[in-house]
Amino acid sequence: MKTSKHSTSRVADARLIDLPRHRGDNGSLTVIENSGSMPFLIKRVYYIYDVPTDEGRGGHSHHTLEGLMVALSGSFVVTLDDGKDRRAFTLDRPYRALYIPAGIWRTVENFSSGAICMVAASDKFDADDYVRDYDEFKKLTDDK
């Protein structure tokens, strides 16, 4: 496994990114592609949908994986935690992405009806890259 980013990542490193938006009389188009404006090369894309309003997702961090999260439809709240600081982001526009660095704990809650959450990830799925226990996460971030 690559070196974990938990001791160096900060919530302050997360940021909202306005994606290119092309508007026309017949609708809008937003593009996400590997380019100089993206914080990493995209190797995997997945969608989360049909989440009951009272349920949440996430509840983990990654040792090395970075992510870009977008509300394709509806809205939800993403709370990021670096072991010291927390910040909540409401995602509700398909042209606005949240960049989540490696080593940051994330929870996703308050899904509106019909919400679709898309995540573009810096790597393919690797179960060993996940930290799913908050106490373990806290131990990894103790150096902050």
Question: pLDDT for 93-103, tens place per residue?
Answer: 999 999 999 99
For tokens 């188009």, what's the residue?
29
| Residue 1 within any structural domain of the chain | no
Q: Which of 22, 60, 62, 63 is catalytic?
A: 60
| Residue 6 within any structural domain of the chain | no
| Residue 116 within any structural domain of the chain | yes
| Residue 98 within any structural domain of the chain | yes
Range of 32's domain?
11-140
140 compared with 38, residue with greater pLDDT: 140
| Residue 29 within any structural domain of the chain | yes
Number of domains into which the chain is organized: 1
So what's the pLDDT on residue 1?
55
- CATH number of the domain where residue 62 is located: 2.60.120.10
Closest to 10 in 3D by CA, of 86, 92, 73: 86
Whether 62 is catalytic:
no
Residue 41: is it exposed, middle or buried by C-beta count within 10 angstroms (0-12/13-18/19+)? Answer: exposed
Residue 8 has φ and ψ, to the nearest 5°, of -115, -20
What is the pTM assigned to this prediction? Answer: 0.92
| Residue 4 within any structural domain of the chain | no
Distance CA 83, CA 142 (A): 7
The chain-wide mean pLDDT, for the chain, equals: 93
Question: pLDDT for 17-69, tens place per residue?
Answer: 999 899 999 999 998 988 877 899 999 999 999 999 888 999 999 999 999 99
CB of 77 closer than 8 Å to CB of 89: yes
